[in-house]
Structure 1
């Protein structure tokens, strides 16, 4: 990538950074991406996939596999705290996970494909909505337009603070943990605060469940038995001194390496809630949100990424331990040979979702180069269109 192209992509990233849109609301971001793909001579640009999803198709005109490169459109409902000239202009929202940088990388791939097509097959550039809620990839795959671009291979990346800048970490097998948010509602009966005996308070049940649910999953080694339960939110009654509470709500995040372990952890947690509610004379309801299945790298796809790192002289560390973070990229592995790699954002870089996080611009050319090399591994060298 020459310096002019690199600077153009950095400016584009900074522009996207200033106008973050959260999951399910990425309308303007999607429109900008679609315009950039058209300007980079995509053969076809599909929009409104699974919400605000976009796909740019670059076709060689010859038979061959379809290789997809996937990134995310959404920002976060977090206030950015920085003095950057290009800091978020939207109160309470920020690109604090680096999806703006991921988009710039994939548009860097589009820059090259706009001038040179693969020798065979197609490349599809996927811009997916609502990754942060776990709903985007599901909706994208279920959309009828997905049939037009259904890939044979899908590659993705995520930047990773704590890993040396520009270094790649690649997992063999499980790459990201499964997780889901468990919402528990406990219902009793309110009463006057002067006569709590006339009601049924969920206070004791809430106090019992918080430590007991946390004890179900203590973390530990990232193997098939790994389980981590994290209490993230709790409410009891109303903010008043005159009413003994009749309702409580408890949110817990369940996290495992393997989907099978997730199902057993859910069963344990549900049984604990049922038993505690029964003992305390309460009704209860359990629902789940932010559901992410375990993401597992396909061996062949992972090997292609490893070779791409070698071809671009990017240090690549192979590991058998997945990230604790969850990713809805797992959905694309149901249709294709899929793999994701982690691209180092720097050992001392602010962590993902921190209010002072910002994507390192130096990663744009590195990530673009790896993806282009991976495409060439599957579809052969590029040729002028």
Structure 2
């Protein structure tokens, strides 16, 4: 399964085409159509569409029975304005591929081209182009989709590029590699009053002023071990933009982060207890909701061993690097149904960070990522 220089030229062009047309989570309709068009040219045995939203899966059957191996990438971009002079910069104001999902998709496109020319000897390969990774809803929606039962992978693999890690070097380890996280939305309800007579109303100001540092104190970070907990207040609003009204409503948004899902349950319970007690003290109503829910991502030792063999065979340097990392990743959902592992591919020590407005996926990573996955598929399926 060899990729030619012409293949790489065309894969880079495909990546840059996707980069110019970013779509946000749950809106990736055009991106999915572009992926489908590319996949059809490789002659898969089946393409499944509409998985968990706009997800697409291409299936390449082997010649004999064997395990199902899934490799996954993501389709969505981010609601951030790109700062770039590159010809392939985003053509959509306020939206951009600043996490590298366009590059990850190009790597799977490379696998599709190779598999179109040479099927595995046994089993089957599923290339999963997943929607809505950035808000944490995509993998869960894919797994819950009845069509996912047609895939039912035995193994699931993925990668994520990682600025700060030397270019082309891989970080890989078993156990937890990405934190669990979720957004906590707190609404405090009182009663408005004339600003000259605030005592006639019930203001949430004191509760907000107390809760923001108190929530942060519940999770102040520290070593990434089983006890790790972090709460980051990301947004707050009190009342309306008016000088004549004492506020009667407030919102606080905070991101909760732990190493494991069990730790998240504990942190949520402690945060909810704190919010409810402060609200009662101030005579306020309270509503709590959660968004952007990410389970922790844990690499299975068996799946890690397969990747390690492939990295060694391809001469790609690797160690555990700085794993685990604080950032979240919804690939962990696939680990609930398959032996799964994700590796992190260095984008360069001085490369702009993920989600920065000047980030762009390094095209030279497409070939490295494809080589590692193709070797893994060859070792597992022949």
The two structures share one fold, judged by TM-score above 0.5:
yes
Aligned to 1:22: 24
| Aligned: 1:89 with 2:91 | yes
Contact 2:260 2:296 in 1 (8 A): yes
Counterparts of 1:186-225 in structure 2 under 5 Å?
Answer: 186-225=188-227
**Counterpart-to-counterpart distance in 1, 2:309 and 2:205:** 57
Q: Which runs of 5+ in 2 are unaligned?
A: none
Q: CA deviation at 1:320?
A: 7.7
Q: Indicate conservation of the 8 Å contact 1:173/1:320, yes or no.
A: no
Within 2, Cα distance between the matches of 1:144 and 1:259? 25
In 2, distance between residues paired with 1:107 and 1:359?
Answer: 15
Instruction: Measure, in 2, the Cα distance between the counterparts of 1:157 and 1:323.
Output: 14
Partner of 2:287: 285
Aligned length: 380
Superposed CA RMSD in Å reads 0.8
Question: What SS does the corresponding residue of 1:200 show, helix, strand or coil?
Answer: coil
Instruction: Report the Cα distance in structure 2 between the residues aligned to 1:35 and 1:12, rounded to whole angstroms.
Output: 11
How do residues 33-182 of structure 1 correspond to structure 2 at under 5 angstroms? 33-182=35-184
TM-score (norm: length of structure 1): 0.98
Alignment of 1:268-307 (within 5 A): 268-307=270-309
For the Cα contact (< 8 Å) 2:170–2:317, is it kept in 1?
A: yes
Q: CA offset at residue 330 of structure 1? A: 0.8
- Give deviations 1:77-110, integer Å, cap 9, x for gaps: 1111100000000011000000000000000011
TM-score by length of 2: 0.98
Deviation of 1:323 (Å): 1.3
Runs of 4+ in 1 over 4 A off after TM superposition: none
Shift of 1:321: 3.3
Check the 8 A contact 2:172/2:323 in 1, yes or no.
Answer: no
Shift of the alpha carbon at 1:61? Answer: 3.4
Query: Residue deviations 1:259-306, cap 9 Å, x none?
Result: 111111111100000110011110101000000011100000011111
Which runs of 5 or more residues in structure 1 are unaligned?
381-385
Partner of 1:244: 246
Cα shift at 1:318: 2.4
Partner secondary structure for residue 64 of structure 1: strand
State the distance in 2 between where 1:122 and 1:175 align.
27
Give the whole-Å Cα distance in 1 for the aligned partners of 2:335 and 2:348. 28
Distance 1:164 1:264 in 2: 36
The 8 Å contact of residues 74 and 131 in structure 2, kept in 1 or not, is answered as yes
Does residue 1:350 correspond to 2:352, yes or no?
Answer: yes
What SS is found at the alignment partner of 2:152?
Answer: coil
Distance 2:168 2:100 in 1: 14
Instruction: Return the offset for 1:137.
Output: 0.4
**What is the distance in 2 between the residues matched to 1:372 and 1:21?**
28
**3-state secondary structure, aligned to 2:109:** helix
Residue equivalent to 2:187: 185
Q: How does 1:228-239 map to 2 (within 5 A)?
A: 228-239=230-241
Contact 1:60 1:117 in 2 (8 A): yes
Instruction: State the alpha-carbon separation in 1 of the partners of residues 323 and 35 from structure 2.
Output: 34
In the aligned structure 2, how far is the partner of 1:275 from the partner of 1:353? 36
| Residue 171 of structure 1, CA deviation | 2.0
- Contact map agreement 2:237 2:252 (CA 8 A) in 1: yes
Rounded to whole Å, the distance in 2 between the matches of 1:301 and 1:369 is 17
In the alignment, the residues of structure 2 paired with residue 248 and residue 278 of structure 1 have an alpha-carbon distance, to the nearest angstrom, of 15
SS in 2 for 1:163: coil
How far did 1:319 drift?
Answer: 5.0
